[in-house]
């Protein structure tokens, strides 16, 4: 097999791997907030809604890896947008998390 043929096979794979590896991750803010109430909502500094949802899922799964159901809804309190996420564990116990997603969904022309 010639070097050119090997290179034509490997170069796209390497470029794809490098492109995936260098994709910027959402900014994860370290916070003392536990997300149990709106007042202690966990701030998310993602640039897209998809990044925010991925971050929320990662955060929840790190704390409650046995979730069986996830329900999410946006809520507005005092002109700020929050994501309310309700999850159920395999034991049937429910837990609610609040995430501050105002940077992504907020409309600040009021």
Residues 83 and 18: their CA atoms lie apart, in Å, by: 33
Report the pLDDT value the prediction gives residue 28, as an integer from 0 to 100.
47
Q: What is the pLDDT of residues 40-91, one digit of tens each?
A: 999 998 889 899 999 999 999 998 888 888 899 999 999 899 999 999 988 8
- Asked if residue 95 lies in contact with residue 64, where contact means CB atoms within 8 angstroms, the answer is yes
Which whole number is the average pLDDT over 32-41?
91
How far lies 41's CA from each of 5, 75, 80, in Å? 54, 12, 11
Global pTM reads 0.68
Question: Residues near 110 by Cβ (< 8 Å), separated by ≥ 6?
Answer: 79
């Amino acid at each position: 097999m010639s070097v050119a043929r090997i290179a034509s096979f490997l170069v796209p794979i390497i470029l794809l791997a490098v492109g995936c590896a260098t994709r910027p991750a959402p900014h994860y803010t370290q916070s003392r907030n536990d997300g149990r109430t709106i007042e202690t909502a966990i701030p998310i500094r993602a640039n897209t809604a998809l990044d925010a949802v991925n971050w929320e899922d990662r955060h929840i799964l790190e704390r409650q890896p046995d979730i069986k159901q996830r329900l999410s809804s946006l809520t507005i309190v005092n002109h700020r947008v929050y994501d309310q996420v309700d999850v159920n564990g395999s034991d049937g116990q429910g837990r609610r998390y609040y995430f501050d997603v105002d940077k992504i969904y907020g409309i600040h022309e009021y």
